[in-house]
């Protein structure tokens, strides 16, 4: 019975520690960077560089707990797909063991479900703002499966989305509003500079943006408009949680006070048990 009690204490402490793990980094942008970028033989430029930095940020987040190492582009073709592929190919991800896949048609039965089951990071293009972007029918599929996208992020997957219908987002977070706008000029916030090292305001401002967000609540703002839509939240994101329950980016898992108490109780029990064992002839 003593052995059972000791084992129970230790397992409970371990479970409490495991419960401190967070998951689900995501970046939601009102930009159509896929339509306003390019690449040289060695590097991405302007909007495509922003896309590269976005997926690198997601891949490096401690909130990304999935073991899948696949970046999946959903519904993209033509220019939209070329931009996504370039963002991936010239990033640090291939060298870290990641691969790239494209799901060209989300209206095929089971296409989205299968993609989410294998993806580590999902990329959504800017829809009608770029050649080869998500169609209205594919936007409808995403909206109908908004809960599945949220579960994917909440389960430790990463999501990078750009200006599009965002019907799925409105379904998940009715209080968070999507503001239709069309302007140029973006400025990274302090959080944005931390999230996207090496990215400049000029990179973000290479083309117009088409969406902004209101009532973002606890989701950190990464970039804001600076011209006709001054201070409009255009790029937002979180390092952990889910879209419906975002949390700050986890840096180090810090146990709660009660977890420390449980751990100490377990260690104390182990020590007492070891001392009794030594006293036995």
Q: What is the DSSP string of 127-161?
A: GGGSTT---HHHHHHHHHTHHHHHHHHHTT-EEEE
Q: Which two tokens stand for residue 247?
A: 């949390």
Q: Which two tokens stand for residue 20?
A: 């401190």
Q: What is the C-alpha separation between 76 and 213, in angstroms, rounded?
A: 24
Tell me the HSE value of 60 on the side-chain side, using a 13 A CA sphere: 13
Per-residue pLDDT of the chain (281 residues; tens, 9 = 90+): 444 444 433 334 333 333 334 457 999 999 999 999 999 999 999 999 999 999 998 999 888 999 999 999 999 999 999 999 999 999 999 999 999 999 999 999 999 999 999 999 999 999 999 999 999 999 999 999 999 999 999 999 999 999 988 999 999 988 888 888 888 899 999 988 888 888 889 888 888 888 899 998 888 899 999 876 678 999 998 888 788 888 654 333 334 444 445 445 555 555 555 555 555 55
In a domain, 223, yes or no: yes
**Largest alpha-carbon pair distance within the chain?**
84
In a domain, 100, yes or no: yes
In a domain, 16, yes or no: no
In a domain, 62, yes or no: yes
In a domain, 8, yes or no: no
In a domain, 12, yes or no: no
For residue 91, which of 114, 62, 118, 123 has the smallest C-alpha distance? 123
In a domain, 9, yes or no: no
In a domain, 10, yes or no: no
Domain that holds residue 43: 22-273
Domain count, the chain: 1
């Amino acid at each position: 019975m003593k052995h059972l009690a000791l084992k129970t204490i230790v397992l409970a402490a371990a479970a409490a520690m495991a419960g401190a793990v967070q998951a689900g980094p995501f970046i939601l942008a009102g930009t159509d960077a896929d339509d306003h970028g390019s690449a040289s033989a060695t590097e991405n430029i302007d909007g495509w560089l922003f896309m590269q930095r976005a997926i690198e940020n997601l891949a490096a987040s401690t909130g990304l707990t999935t073991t899948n190492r696949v970046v999946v582009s959903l519904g993209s073709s033509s220019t939209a797909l070329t931009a996504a592929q370039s963002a991936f190919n010239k990033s640090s991800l291939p060298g870290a063991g990641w691969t790239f896949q494209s799901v060209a048609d989300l209206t095929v039965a089971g296409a989205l479900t299968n993609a989410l089951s294998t993806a580590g990071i999902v990329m959504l293009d800017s829809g009608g703002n770029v050649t080869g972007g998500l169609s209205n029918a594919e936007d409808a599929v995403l909206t109908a499966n908004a809960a599945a996208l949220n579960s994917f992020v909440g389960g430790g997957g990463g999501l990078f989305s750009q200006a599009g219908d965002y019907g799925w987002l409105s379904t998940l977070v009715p209080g968070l509003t999507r503001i239709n706008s069309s302007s140029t000029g973006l400025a990274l916030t302090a959080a944005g500079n931390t999230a996207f090292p090496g990215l400049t305001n000029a990179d973000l401002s290479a083309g117009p943006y088409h969406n902004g967000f209101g009532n973002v609540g606890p989701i950190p703002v990464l970039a804001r408009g600076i011209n006709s839509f001054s201070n409009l939240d255009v790029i937002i994101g979180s390092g952990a949680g889910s879209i419906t329950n975002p949390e700050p980016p986890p840096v180090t898992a810090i146990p709660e006070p009660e977890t420390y108490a449980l751990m100490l109780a377990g260690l104390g029990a182990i020590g007492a048990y070891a001392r009794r064992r030594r006293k036995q002839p």
